[in-house]
Amino acid sequence: MAFMRIYCGSCGQHWEVYERDDWNSSKAAICPHCGKSIDGQTWVNQVVPAFCAAADANRELERDATGYGLPRFRFDILSKSRTD
Ligand SMILES: [Zn+2]
């Protein structure tokens, strides 16, 4: 199950959006700690498609492993700092 971890520069905390949740909605772009929101256009046009593409690519890797007997690969995309 794919999820993304979002850092909020307003309050310095993180929140996670899971693929099974309603991650496509604008509500998922709102920091649950302080209520600040990622820009709606950026969320819809950039973040959601990127998350979707990464989740699809990992599913394809999984299919390669089960269907063709290849090693099981998986990737994560990390932003510049793990301590943000
Ligand atoms: Zn916040």
- Confidence class for position 25, pLDDT limits 50, 70, 90: confident
Centre of ligand 1 from the C-alpha of residue 53, in Å: 26
d(CA 28, CA 12): 17
Residue type at position 56:
D
Average pLDDT, the chain: 90
For 6, phi and psi rounded to 5 degrees? -110, 130
Centre of ligand 1 from the C-alpha of residue 29, in Å: 11
Centre of ligand 1 from the C-alpha of residue 7, in Å: 8
pLDDT digits (tens, 9 = 90+) for 32-53: 999 999 999 999 999 999 999 9
